[in-house]
Amino acid sequence: MWMLHSATMLPAFLLLFFMGTSSRLSEAMSRDEKNKLRNQVLEMFDHAYQNYMDHAYPADELMPLTCRGRVRGLEPSRGDVDDALGKFSLTLIDTLDTLALLNKMAEFEEAVRRVVTDVRLDNDIVVSVFETNIRVLGGLLGGHSMAVMLKESGRMVWYQDELLHMAKDLGLRLLPAFNTSSGLPYPRVNLRFGVRGPETRTGTETDTCTACAGTIILEFAALSRFTGDPTFEAHARRALDFLWEKRQRNSNLVGTTINIHSGEWIRRDSGVGAGIDSYYEYLMKAYILLGDDQFLQRFNTHYASIMKYISQPPLLLDVHIHKPLLPARTWMDSLLAFFPGLQVLKGDIRPAIETHEMLYQVTKKHNFLPEAFTTDFRVHWAQHPLRPEFAESTYFLYKATRDPYYLEVGRTILENLNRFARVPCGFAAMKDVRTGSHEDRMDSFFLAEMFKYLFLLFAEEEDLPFNVEDYVFTTEAHLLPLSLSTASNSQAPTLAGEELDDSNFEWTCPNTRLLFPDPAFPRNLREPIRSAVDKSCPRPTTHREPGMGHPPLRAQDFMANNPEHLELLRRMGVSLIHLKDGRVQLVQHATQAVSAVAAEDGMRFMQEMMELSSQQQKEQLPPRAVQIVSHPFFGRVVLTAGPAQFGMDLYKSNSGVRGFVTVAEPYNGCSVLSNGEIVAGRIALLQRGQCMFAEKARHIQKAGAIGGIVIDDNEGSSSDTAPLFQMAGDGRNTDDVTLPLLFLFHKEGNILLEALKEYREVEVLLSDKARDRESIFKGKALPGTLLDGSMDGAEEEDCSTEEKDHTSPASSEPVDQSQVTTQEQTTDDSVVGQESVQPAEGLGSYDPVDVGEEPAVDGDYSSQSDDSLVADWQEDLEAFKQMEKDEL
């Protein structure tokens, strides 16, 4: 195992603090128990594989709920997910070397015969270059490696490199994708026609993900060295060289997507999860497989930046490549679960233990890793397609530490798969980990990877048909022999003018006796993370001062615009960062506190902030409506608005609040209004920022306003692309606020401001949902007559108040403790992201209500001018009733 530097220790005061936590050491698992779990893995594999062969083969994948095969073109399209399907019996090819590793040699031989006889690779179909490379080409090469091994031992003597010939055929079909000026491959290729010409139905794409272009080298180099044809390895190296050249030179990070022609970064966020993950993995493993020091140097350079900017143990948070101290998002995706395993290969054990433990605690909360989850471990994307990355890291950590704790983690994975994902025809992906609902899919990687790592976790050496140390695992867990490093290779290993930096290399493997002088040490790393995820971190009972003669700052007293509070935070090692999108993030660096006592106070403050934020987020409110009812709109335009957690509850109001709008002065509403006489009796328009929402509400209420609308100052924000948010209070009693306050994103707010600019007098209705015009204008004369039209079904069901999670983070203004989404860290660095507006239930978009025919308007406005007005506002005229039925 290649472990290239030893782990560092926790600061002494933190280590002593955590060692006070009582927890029993992991007990060794008996051999009989391990054998029982190993046999359970084999039974589960048989259940999945046999159902694929019985109900799906020769289709690419099994649909386990309907017990049939998924054939592309015959099932409804799933978008990019279907690009992995090429009508080449994907699951069978992806499973070949799994059969061999699990010692199912008869089944392996039969599977190879089927692939050789039945599979065609010249289909007129567009496939993902990335997925086809790692799953199909990797599967053929892994199968070939196993077949050669068996032939050398006297089995499969009939085998004449048929799988290798198929692999070369497929490699040649993928090569046209690399015909770009940069050497980066097109993301898709037609297996029969390549990428040029109308018959290919591809070749027009301009962007690809970093991982898509950077996860080729293992398979292509292996193909070159197996066949003696250097072409494949040359193309893969060229793509990697280009990505290396395009890294951001100051941060040494790469973005997520890149233009394949110009090399311009399209998405400049950088992390270790989706879009980048296996690029880093392949730099390290290319060094292991090929012995080229250049790959290790590049990996080490990237890894140093990852640990400097992205790693905030146990979190791994995306940053911007040009401003790596600026977080790019407040959630993590499940694909980063591979990273602790890669850190084991690197030899950086401590952060691997910490991140893995965080992932394990999230898994225990939700039974599976959600496809994405927030920094406070709530569900962000609820799907789980039976991904194997967490099991992969569990195996590597057990391999490195021999800590039986990881065997228990493996047991948990097995139990959850059997309890929640097992169905009569296989194992079904989770559509929603919160509800336990299933999706009719069982991806090929489930058989290719999951059962390999779980079997290796519980198997003894004598259970394995060969020594896995003689192989490297690809990102799809296919087995490539390390002997390829000595095979013929004509490629120049370094770029012209580039010298290797010896300071980047540490050649010694870590001594695990030095890493873990105390058997309790790994547990002591895990315990505080477990506490943080459970939100039950033990706290000292005594309150100590943070080094400046004052009582420690309590979260409920914190105000982000109070200079004394900011100084207290600084002394506790907590810094406040104003993000570009208006949010505020709290970050704790315990080592920057003025003393160990102050650092503990800082950790306590972060924990309190987390708890306060959690309390604020318990009640998720449905969206509200701002309906423009004045001439010439007459209720046609409805803007979806976010509610407040204080003030009048429009849900309990039958009629809502109706009035003319006017802009408050000052616009931010953070002081006594200078135009109070004008605001009185009207609905005030306010700009987000500078003070608390409750403070704005109090100022306009004092001026006599009947309601308020806060408009986001983050230009370009829209409920088309972000979920709605509810505005939190200021952490104090807000019973004195009695008027309704709603929140509009910038795009929706600008619609209202433009209407006010054009028509001067604009009347709106603030309500829980859009009203039909007959009820709005009941008892009032219209400037024209309503044409025939009904409002059937206008009374819709109320939005569910059941808590759900959305797909993008909130924007916010400077906040206090009640407006914070927090995450406490009890290691060196703690991160707390603050948000003043919390996610609200319902669709994050604005839509007008369907109220029948348009009115014929008398006066200066003709039917034609009214049609022009409707055309001008066309993007806003959609069915409002979808707002309460749909969600992002």
Can you list the alpha helix ranges (DSSP code H) found in 491-544? 512-515, 521-534
Q: Is residue 131 flagged as an active site residue?
A: yes
First CA to last CA across the chain, in angstroms?
44
Rounded Cα gap, residues 830 and 7, in angstroms: 20
Catalytic one among 83, 389, 476, 813?
389
CB 219 within 8 A of CB 129: no
Q: Is the dihedral of CA 613, 618, 623, 626 positive or negative?
A: negative
Q: Phi, psi at residue 95, to the nearest 5°?
A: -100, -5
Q: Considering the candidates 97, 277, 443, 813, report the single residue annotated as catalytic.
A: 277
> Is the CB of residue 839 less than 8 Å from the CB of residue 374?
no
Q: Residue 93 and residue 476: Cα distance in Å, rounded?
A: 12
Please give the backbone phi and psi of residue 686, each rounded to the nearest 5 degrees, phi first: -130, 155
Are the CB atoms for 622 and 841 separated by under 8 Å?
yes
Residues with Cβ within 8 Å of residue 424, at least 6 apart in sequence: 67
User: What are 321's two structure tokens?
Assistant: 């490549």
CB-CB neighbours of 566 under 10 Å = 16
Q: Backbone phi, then psi, for 270, in 5-degree steps? A: -135, 135
Asked if 405 and 26 touch (Cβ cutoff 8 Å), the reply is yes
Whether 402 and 393 have beta carbons less than 8 Å apart is answered as no
Residue carrying the six token digits 């794409």:
205
Residues 448 and 98: beta-carbon distance below 8 Å:
yes
Contacts of 358 (CB under 8 A, 6+ apart): 314, 315, 377, 529, 532, 533
Element (H, E) at 741: strand 741-744
Bridge partners of 642, per DSSP, are 743
Which residue bears the tokens 């605690």? 361
Query: 712 an active-site residue?
Result: no
Q: Is 277 in the active site?
A: yes
Closest CA to 670 of 706, 702, 624: 702
- Both tokens of 445, joined, read 């990687």
The C-alpha angle with vertex 156 and arms to 153 and 158, in degrees rounded to 5, equals 125
With beta carbons less than 8 A apart as the criterion, state whether 740 and 766 touch. yes
Tell me the two tokens of residue 387: 């991904």
Q: How far apart (Å, rounded) are the C-alpha atoms in residues 819 and 692? A: 9
What are the DSSP calls for 120-153, one per residue?
-S--S-EEEHHHIIIIIIHHHHHHHHHHHHHHHT
- DSSP string spanning 767-793? ESS---HHHHTTTS--SEEPPS---TT
Q: Which of 371, 439, 601, 805 is catalytic?
A: 371
* The pair of three-digit structure tokens given for residue 648, joined into one six-digit string: 């009048």
Q: Are 148 and 113 in contact (CB under 8 A)?
A: no
Cα dihedral sign for 263, 269, 275, 279? positive
Selected catalytic residue, list 83, 131, 443, 854: 131
Residue with tokens 């770009």: 180
Active site residue 389: yes
β-pairing, 741-744 with 707-711? parallel
DSSP for 143-189 reads HHHHHHHHHHTTS-TT--SHHHHHHHHHHHHHGGGG-SSSSPPPSEE
Helix-helix angle 521-534:405-416, to 10 degrees: 40
Burial class (CB in 10 A: 0-12, 13-18, 19+), 757: exposed
Which residue numbers are catalytic?
Answer: 131, 277, 371, 389
